[in-house]
Amino acid sequence: MIAAVTARAFDVVAELVPAGVDVRRLPDGLDSAAFVLPDSDDAETIDALPELMRLRVLQTLSAGTDWIEARVPAWASLCNARGARDAAVAEWVVGALLGDAYGQLTAARTRRWSDARPRELQSAVVLIVGFGSIGRALKRRLEPFGVTVIGVARHARDGVRDTSELPALLEQADAVVLLTPLTSKTAGLFDAALLARMRDGALLLNAGRGGVVDTDALVAELRSGRLRAVLDVVDPEPLPARHPLWEAALAITPHNAGDTAAADERALRFGAEQLVRFARGEPLRNVVRAAVTERHGHL
């Protein structure tokens, strides 16, 4: 069996795979690969995916897969690296909350002496929209501050509210954290009407996907001074140099909240372990979309 992996994953993968697996550095072996582990900026590999008749597993190094879903053929399973970047993204959110509450973000922009008073996180209500593994990691980090965390997901479960309750919950939150993936149901979810439900002075933090928020509506709210925002993801990406969001938001980072060296290492190791599971015929983890069509031929 041939596995074609991004060059930075090669050493980790080669160390773990069992005998009988031929590991190649992309693009070598791509046409014959049953398992492919690409980087998100590898346009050559991504464009070739629909024609790879031997492909059985496409493993990403990210939790989000909206950028590649349309290219993965039906006869291959798509898997993500959910969990590998939880700590990094959760810490980004905590840092943004503290930087806003204690004025560092504002001070860095204005660079002037101010009589503004800091706020404590204690007793704040933080609403997490898209409460999955990152949301759970964030909740664990916020609770020692005395923060009340409310989680929202597509389906209600113990301690997690349903998205149908979102408009009412927004009115209770001091900060709203978006961690939801981009899907047909979440695209533009935070439009002008939903943003208007947020309480005056609330903070919006987006570490999920930029397309979940209506950018024009967000700019209007931020310019009015009613809301504040710290963003790791925006729409469009990359954000043009003269886009009004640069001035309207408190801070914008370049979609790298989860890209620490440690998170990258965890994602690479997860990808290698996933290949081991596949080679041994064991169940795959983090399956986003299972293969729905069987193709004949040897792997």
CA distances from residue 120 to 54, 99, 202, 275 in whole angstroms, order as listed: 56, 11, 14, 46
DSSP three-state, residue 245: helix
- The torsion angles phi and psi of 216, rounded to 5 degrees, stand at -60, -40
* Catalytic annotation, pick one of 54, 56, 209, 266: 209
Query: Residue 103: which of 258, 251, 252 has the closest Cα?
Result: 251
Length of the chain: 299
CA dihedral 22, 27, 33, 35 (to 10 degrees): 90
255 is catalytic: yes
Any catalytic annotation for residue 298? Answer: no
Q: What is the rounded CA–CA span in Å between residue 103 and residue 36?
A: 45
Instruction: Report the alpha-carbon distance of residue 78 to residue 59 in Å, rounded.
Output: 6
Angle at 124 between CA 121 and CA 130, to 5 degrees: 105
Is 154 one of the annotated active-site residues of the chain?
no
Q: Which residues contact 246 (CB under 8 A, 6 or more apart)?
A: 239, 252
Distance of CA 78 to the CA centre of its chain: 16
165, 237, 265, 282: the catalytic one is 237
Active-site positions?
Answer: 209, 237, 255
